[in-house]
Structure 1
């Protein structure tokens, strides 16, 4: 969801016209598809699917592609190279986020419904409180191309588990075997879990889960990325942001 507080960031929404299919790979200056920088980094762009807290693709996500500022992509490549030597990989959940997607989140929070799917991601917090508590913002650093949601994958492990539509999964704070499968290491909660257990330094997780979080934070920090304390999965690169954008994410041409 949200990452760092955006109150200190001056954001100018830059509206880019909707791209035609013939120009699907066109990006504003300074933006790149992460696959063009490092295709070995695993991508699971959740807001382009129904596997997220809204239960549907968000506005502006026309493709499950990680788009970032070039500097961010190059630093992610350096992190990935370090992890590869340990049989690990980054897995991207969200990268650049069109500003319209953040507004989509606002509308969702105000629709007056609290479904079982909502509770899977927000087990103890009412969706109307998510903005006040800093989990979602109407203006997000993601829209600058300098913020990321990600995790680690153990390449030696069996990561083949897929979501079974017929199964009733527990909420995001449950033990890993009971919650939605994510094909990644057990960080103590699922992605986008709006709960104190999702805070990076949460005392309620196991020693092994804490070690994985520290390993991720340390690897990212060596390339200058800063973690957001309320979300173990959220990182940003100071100084790489700037204006926020609203161009849609379109399929990358090979």
Structure 2
């Protein structure tokens, strides 16, 4: 691991984690190449910004929960290989029921390069500390469809408010959003804007 990267728990141990690509609870349905340990790795600057977000949320009775942060290039390569095997649709009904697998590249859900590999992009949500339940965001994490666009209109008022709570606190602490996924944010002044790392998550 490069010295400019840190384990998030060393900077802010209260942030929760649910590393989907370490498990089979993801759109492929099996653990992803490059994930070998249940730890969250990010650039140091990203960790400091997330700590600020967490401090604000804790005061409101909430916590961040991280699904994915740094993602090695070998994991992205695994996604690309999977996307080309059109008959492997084990998790289609859960993650991409309305998108043909053959369209995942064209519609931008799978790409050969990912901002995650640069170490300053995060996928996350908010948890109610008291109930330990994730706030209802109107679509699950990693759901491929318009339902996951941040401003998708056909969700409830409460779901919209939950999305905007996450978006507002992330934007106010140095992150920029992604137009297709309510959970996806990148540090505005990321330290490695052109470097795609491939060290394993361990």
Same fold (TM over 0.5): yes
* Separation of aligned partners in 1, 2:68 and 2:62: 19
TM-score, normalised by the number of residues in structure 1: 0.77
Match in the other structure for 1:139: 113
Deviations 1:28-57 (A, max 9, x none): 121000011101000111101111111111
Alpha carbons 1:99, 1:246 under 8 Å: kept: yes
Match in the other structure for 1:37: 11
Structure 1's consecutive aligned runs of 4 or more residues displaced over 2 angstroms after TM superposition are none
Match in the other structure for 2:200: 248
Deviations 1:61-116 (A, max 9, x none): 00121100000000000000000000000000000000010010011111121535
Please state whether the residue corresponding to 1:80 is helix, strand or coil. Answer: helix
* Separation of aligned partners in 2, 1:136 and 1:224: 26
Alpha carbons 2:86, 2:101 under 8 Å: kept: no
Deviations 1:178-197 (A, max 9, x none): xxxxx411000110000111
Match in the other structure for 1:232: 182
CA RMSD of aligned residues (A): 1.1
Unaligned runs of 5+ in 2: none
- Bigger radius of gyration among the two: 1
TM-score, normalised by the number of residues in structure 2: 0.96
2:77 to 95, 103, 107: 103
Corresponding pairs, count: 200
Alpha carbons 1:102, 1:138 under 8 Å: kept: yes
Higher RCO by CA contacts (8 Å cutoff, separation 6 or greater): 1
Q: Counterparts in 2 of 1:14-33, with a 5 A limit? A: 27-33=1-7
Larger % of helix: which?
Answer: 2
Unaligned runs of 5+ in 1: 1-26, 160-182
